[in-house]
Amino acid sequence: MSAGKKKSRPASRRWLYLAGVAVVLAAALVLLPVAARRVYPYEQRQTIERWAQEYGLDPLWVVAIIRTESSFRPAAVSPAGARGLMQLMPATAQWMAEKHALEYSEEMLLQPAYNVQLGCAYYAYLKERFPENEAALAAWNAGEGNVRRWQQAGKQMTRAEDIPYGETRRFVKKVKDAYEKYRWLYQSN
């Protein structure tokens, strides 16, 4: 009999261990998305979804651009002068405002809804010219003219690795990575 008891003790310990592992995994599955949403927030969600829909964009690409560009800081101003959530250059924003018959001032670029509206309009413009996300994002960062030159030089622009500028290549990779995280966290919500 004592041999039987020795066998049951390790089996019961294994069950306890496996039950403990199961509890930890279950908790991780619940807590991981909660923690990840703190790192990948979806601030200004209604505004982003409104303007993304208006311009025919996937809102998760827009939120990924915002996270990469400004970390959701509406008053962000880059050393180059880009402003607001989507880090729009004033000349580009003014051009988009005129193209869409909108009022414009540099100060308005710090207003989240206005910045997202113009940013979505501009990204939709780029997506019309560069259907591949990598090319459109590269144009967002490096300019439409540079992307056209790269394409004319034979760059396909279907992968971030195709982008000749290191800064732009890193930008595209960051946005794509953020997009994948946002899809995982918010696609079904």
Please say whether the dihedral angle defined by the alpha carbons of residues 168, 135, 62 and 97, taken in this order, is positive or negative: positive
The predicted structure's pLDDT at residue 13 = 76
Q: Which residues belong to the active site?
A: 69
Q: What is the DSSP letter of 169?
A: H
Q: Taking Cα atoms as reference points, which of 156, 66, 59, 55 lies closest to residue 99?
A: 55
The predicted structure's pLDDT at residue 39 = 82
The predicted structure's pLDDT at residue 169 = 95
| Residues present in the chain in total | 189
Mean pLDDT in order along the chain per 10 residues (189 residues): 53 70 54 70 96 98 98 96 98 98 97 98 97 95 95 87 92 97 83
pTM: 0.82
The predicted structure's pLDDT at residue 140 = 97
The predicted structure's pLDDT at residue 157 = 81
Which phi and psi (to 5°) does residue 154 adopt? Answer: 100, 0
Q: Taking Cα atoms as reference points, which of 189, 176, 186 lies closest to residue 41?
A: 186
Q: Which residue has the tokens 């010219």?
A: 129
